[in-house]
Structure 1
Amino acid sequence: MKFTDGFWQLRPGVEALYAQEAYDVWQTDRTPDGPGLVVTAPTSVIAKRGDTLNRPVLTVTLSSPLEGVVRVRIAHHEGGRWHGGFALPGAVEGGAGEAAATDDGGTITTGGLTARVTAGAPWSLSFAHGDRVLTSSGHKAQGYVKLAPGAQVDRGIVDNSRTGAPAPIERVFVHEQLDLGVGELVYGLGERFGPVVKNGQSVEIWNADGGTSSEQAYKSVPFYLSDRGYGVLVNDPGHVSFEIGSEAVERVQFSVPGEVLEYFVIDGPTPKDVLTRYTALTGRPPVVPAWSYGLWLSTSFTTDYDEATVTSFIDEMAARELPVSVFHFDCFWMREFNWCDFEWDPRTFPDPDGMLARLHDKDLRVCVWLNPYIGQRSPLFAEAAERGFLVKRADGSVWQWDLWQAGMGLVDFTNPEATAWYQSHLRRLVDQGVDCFKTDFGERIPVDVEWADGSDPQRMHNLYTQLYNEAVHAVLVEKRGEGDAVLFARSATAGGQTMPVHWGGDSTSTFVSMAETLRGGLSLAYSGFAHWSHDIGGFEGTPDTAVYKRWTAFGLLGSHSRFHGSGSYRVPWAFDEEAVEVTRRFTHLKMHLMPYLFQAGVDAAATGLPLLRPMLLEFPDDPAVRHLDRQYMLGGDILVAPVFSEAGEVEFYLPAGEWTSLLTGETVTGGGWRRETHGFDSLPLYVRPGAVIPWGARSDRPDYDYLDGLTLRVFPGGSGARDVTVTTPDGRSETFTADLSEVTR
Structure 2
Amino acid sequence: MNTYNVDFREGECWYGLCADDGVHFPLTEQSCYSADFSVNRTVNQVCPILISNKGRYIYSDSCFKIEAKDGRLSISTEGAVELIEAGSTLKETFLEAAKEHFAPQRGIPPREFFDTPQYNTWIELRYNQNQEDVLKYAHGLIENGYPAGILMIDDCWQKYYGCWEFEKERFPDPKGMVDELHGLGFKVMLWTCPYVSPDSPEFRELRNKDLLTKTEDGKVSLHEWWDGYSATLDLTNPIAILWYDMKLRSLCDKYGIDGFKFDAGDARFYENDKLSLGMADPNVFSELWAKFGLNYKYNEYRACVGCQGYPLVQRLADKFHSWDEKGMASLVPNTLTQGIMGYAYTCPDMIGGGEYSFFEGEGLQNRLDQELVVRYAQCAALMPMMQFSVAPWRVLSEENAVLCLRAARLHTQYAYYILTLAENAGKTGEPIARYMEYEFPNEGFEKVTDQFMLGDKLLVAPVLKKGQTTREVKLPQGRWAFLGEKMYDGGCTVTVDAPISVLPYFERR
Q: TM-score, normalised by structure 1?
A: 0.62
Whole-angstrom CA distance in 2 between matches of 1:445 and 1:418: 18
Q: Residue 201 of structure 2: which of 379, 390, 404 is its match?
A: 379
Give the aligned partner of residue 299 of structure 2: 487
Return the index of the structure with the highest Cα Rg.
1
Give the aligned partner of residue 111 of structure 1: none
Give the aligned partner of residue 318 of structure 1: 142
Give the aligned partner of residue 592 of structure 1: 413
Give the aligned partner of residue 3 of structure 2: 175
Unpaired runs of at least 5, structure 2? 360-367
Give the aligned partner of residue 441 of structure 2: 620
Give the aligned partner of residue 48 of structure 1: none
Whole-angstrom CA distance in 2 between matches of 1:453 and 1:554: 44
Whole-angstrom CA distance in 2 between matches of 1:517 and 1:380: 39
Amino acid at match of 1:537: G
Give the aligned partner of residue 291 of structure 2: 470
- The reply on whether 1:295 has 2:117 as its aligned counterpart is yes
Larger displacement relative to structure 2 (372-381 or 507-516): 372-381
Change (3 A) 1:206 1:653: farther
For the 8 Å contact 1:326–1:364, the answer to whether it is kept is yes
For the 8 Å contact 1:266–1:278, the answer to whether it is kept is no
Amino acid at match of 2:448: L
Correspondence 1:491-640 to 2 at 5 A:
491-512=303-324, 513-533=327-347, 534-540=349-355, 541-542=358-359, 543-564=368-389, 569-623=390-444, 625-640=445-460
Correspondence 1:335-374 to 2 at 5 A:
335=159, 338-374=160-196
Change (3 A) 1:642 1:382: same
For the 8 Å contact 1:375–1:406, the answer to whether it is kept is no
Give the aligned partner of residue 277 of structure 2: 453
Give the aligned partner of residue 718 of structure 1: none
SS in 1 for 2:76: strand
Give deviations 1:166-213, integer Å, cap 9, x for gaps: xxxxxxx2111122112211111120243222232113225556xxxx
Amino acid at match of 2:391: R
Give the aligned partner of residue 194 of structure 1: 23
Give deviations 1:65-97, integer Å, cap 9, x for gaps: xxxxxxxxxxxxxxxxxxxxxxxxxxxxxxxxx
Q: Residue 261 of structure 2: which of 435, 438, 443 is its match?
A: 438
For the 8 Å contact 2:164–2:247, the answer to whether it is kept is yes
Change (3 A) 1:497 1:445: farther
Change (3 A) 1:612 1:358: same
Whole-angstrom CA distance in 2 between matches of 1:308 and 1:451: 43
Change (3 A) 1:499 1:491: farther
Correspondence 1:126-145 to 2 at 5 A:
none
Amino acid at match of 1:657: G
Correspondence 1:266-281 to 2 at 5 A:
267-280=86-99, 281=101
Identity %: 24
SS in 1 for 2:453: strand
Give deviations 1:429-450, integer Å, cap 9, x for gaps: 2222111211111113333433
Give the aligned partner of residue 249 of structure 2: 427
Whole-angstrom CA distance in 2 between matches of 1:664 and 1:273: 29
Give the aligned partner of residue 242 of structure 1: 66
Whole-angstrom CA distance in 2 between matches of 1:552 and 1:453: 45
Amino acid at match of 1:489: Y
Give deviations 1:267-323, integer Å, cap 9, x for gaps: 123322222222222232522211122111111152534222222222222222211
SS in 1 for 2:136: helix
Amino acid at match of 1:198: L
Whole-angstrom CA distance in 1 between matches of 2:56 and 2:252: 42
Greater RCO, CA 8 A, separation 6+:
2
Count of aligned pairs: 484
Change (3 A) 1:510 1:572: farther
Give the aligned partner of residue 146 of structure 1: none
More strand by share: 1
Whole-angstrom CA distance in 1 between matches of 2:82 and 2:320: 36
Correspondence 1:407-418 to 2 at 5 A:
407-418=229-240
Whole-angstrom CA distance in 1 between matches of 2:505 and 2:275: 50
SS in 1 for 2:418: helix
Change (3 A) 1:289 1:601: same
Amino acid at match of 1:196: F
Change (3 A) 1:652 1:196: farther
Give deviations 1:704-737, integer Å, cap 9, x for gaps: xxxxxxxxxxxxxxxxxxxxxxxxxxxxxxxxxx
Amino acid at match of 1:532: T
Amino acid at match of 1:277: E
Change (3 A) 1:535 1:377: farther
Give deviations 1:635-660, integer Å, cap 9, x for gaps: 11101111112333322211122100
SS in 2 for 1:368: strand
Amino acid at match of 1:438: K
C-alpha deviation, 1:454, in angstroms: 4.0
For the 8 Å contact 1:466–1:496, the answer to whether it is kept is no
For the 8 Å contact 1:235–1:264, the answer to whether it is kept is no
C-alpha deviation, 1:487, in angstroms: 1.6
Correspondence 1:15-26 to 2 at 5 A:
none
Give the aligned partner of residue 44 of structure 2: 218
Whole-angstrom CA distance in 2 between matches of 1:296 and 1:378: 34
Whole-angstrom CA distance in 1 between matches of 2:162 and 2:441: 46
Whole-angstrom CA distance in 1 between matches of 2:298 and 2:39: 22
Amino acid at match of 2:218: G
For the 8 Å contact 2:234–2:277, the answer to whether it is kept is no
- The reply on whether 1:670 has 2:482 as its aligned counterpart is no
Whole-angstrom CA distance in 1 between matches of 2:443 and 2:167: 55
Amino acid at match of 1:529: Y
- The reply on whether 1:231 has 2:57 as its aligned counterpart is yes
Give the aligned partner of residue 687 of structure 1: 507
Whole-angstrom CA distance in 2 between matches of 1:253 and 1:406: 38
For the 8 Å contact 2:22–2:336, the answer to whether it is kept is no
Give the aligned partner of residue 90 of structure 1: none
Give the aligned partner of residue 364 of structure 2: none
Whole-angstrom CA distance in 2 between matches of 1:674 and 1:386: 67
Give the aligned partner of residue 76 of structure 1: none
For the 8 Å contact 1:187–1:225, the answer to whether it is kept is yes
C-alpha deviation, 1:217, in angstroms: 4.7
Whole-angstrom CA distance in 1 between matches of 2:34 and 2:141: 45
More helix by share: 2
Change (3 A) 1:588 1:495: same
Whole-angstrom CA distance in 2 between matches of 1:396 and 1:261: 32
Whole-angstrom CA distance in 2 between matches of 1:340 and 1:417: 15
For the 8 Å contact 1:557–1:634, the answer to whether it is kept is yes
Larger displacement relative to structure 2 (510-519 or 645-654): 645-654
SS in 2 for 1:254: strand
- The reply on whether 1:203 has 2:58 as its aligned counterpart is no
Whole-angstrom CA distance in 1 between matches of 2:191 and 2:217: 32
Give deviations 1:350-384, integer Å, cap 9, x for gaps: 11111111111111101111111111144311111
Correspondence 1:304-315 to 2 at 5 A:
304-315=128-139
Change (3 A) 1:372 1:305: closer
